[in-house]
Amino acid sequence: MRTFLKLALGLAASLFIATSGARAQVPVIDNANLTKAQEIATSTRQILDADQQILQFTQKTLAAVTGDRTSQAQGSLAQMALGGGFSMAQAPSLGSVISGGSLSFAGLGSGSQNIVSTLINGLQLVQTITGMTGGQTHPVDTAYKNSVNVAATLSGLIDSTQGAVQQRSSAFTQGGQQIGQAQDLKGSVDQNTQVQIQTGQTINELNGVVNNAAAAANQANLDRIAAESAVARAMKFTQQ
């Protein structure tokens, strides 16, 4: 009986061990861990999508601040100051004319030359004030000749400048129509740079006009000095 009982217990133990080993091979699903893994996967996907969007925005930003925008910064914007017409840099030197240089129409338009010629011919100016001829030059005659040349040069400059003002006005109007049409930041920056350059050129033109005005005003001083010199020479006498 005891032997049978031991045998039965041994068989039961063997069955229990065998059964326990078989159950250990059966996969078990942990719902909590599965849910957490799904959440991590979803978060990772969202992070990847966000990184992709950041990359796209970065590429767009890079394209907006780099590259060539010549077509947007040139055109009528580059013609606003000079307008493709007369510039004071082309004007004849008024200082040279005042100091006795010959009358020059270099840089002036043909219309300005015609106006000057008509002006001089219409005034029917005399050749000398003193009437001295035969190679003798009187200071008054020299000052008179220089004054005529200065007046003629100024007339040509005024006519050329008036024509240039009209061209610049049209160029500024056309250039202003381009403002705000840039497609990106780089285009806007380049347009702004071009406007600043044109502003500098416009100021430079103004400086040229002011310099010529100052030179023309100084001609009156030269004429007065020449007249005083002539009077002084007339008052001289030689003691015997």
Given the structure tokens 């061209």, which residue do they identify? 167
Crossing angle, helix 139-176 and helix 185-235, to 10 degrees?
170
| Average confidence score pLDDT of the chain | 77
Q: What's the pLDDT score for residue 240?
A: 47
- Find out whether 161 and 209 touch, Cβ atoms under 8 Å: yes
Given a cut of 90, whether residue 48 has pLDDT beyond it is yes
pLDDT tens per residue across span 95-131: 777 777 777 777 776 677 777 777 777 776 767 776 6
Confidence of residue 25 (pLDDT cuts 50, 70, 90): low
Domain boundaries, the chain: 2-65, 70-235
Q: Which of 5-9, 10-14, 47-51 has the highest mean pLDDT?
A: 47-51
Q: Kindly tell me the burial class for residue 203, based on how many C-beta atoms sit within 10 Å of its own C-beta (0-12, 13-18, 19 or more).
A: exposed
